[in-house]
Amino acid sequence: MKQFLWLLQWTLKAAIFLMLFAFALNNQDDVQVRFLFGLQWRSPLVLVLLAFFAAGVVVGVLGMVPRWWRQRRLAQKAVQAAPITHTPVTPTAPASASDIPYGP
């Protein structure tokens, strides 16, 4: 079963790679992107798409950083405020198999 999942995973990765590669090969025409103040950028379409996708990822991550920091700070405060107990926890096993609940 593990080998089947491994094979399926690599087959899907290969299919996605081949589709993206075919997309890149089909979109090699030059495009011109015009920015403010007369700036312009002329490059193949696939590079323009890749650059703007990467820029979107960077903007998204930067937008999430303050929340990550706040959550991390709150988690550290919760750990510091939690009471420290040194009592060992011993698991208890059921007396017999009939004590294990099955179903509703």
Which tens digit of pLDDT belongs to each residue from 12-58? 999 999 998 888 888 788 888 888 888 898 988 888 888 899 999 99
For the chain, what percentages of helix, strand and coil (3-state, to nearest 5) are there?
65, 10, 25
* Mean pLDDT of the residues in the chain: 84
Taken in order 22, 25, 28, 34, the sign of the CA dihedral is: positive
Residue 95 pLDDT: 60
Q: How confident is the model at residue 102 (pLDDT cuts 50, 70, 90)?
A: low
Q: What percent of the chain has pLDDT over 90?
A: 30
User: What mean pLDDT is predicted for residues 72-81?
Assistant: 88
Residue 55 pLDDT: 94
Residue 103 pLDDT: 54
Closest CA to 43 of 29, 23, 53: 29
Residue corresponding to tokens 């930067």: 62
Residue 93 pLDDT: 65
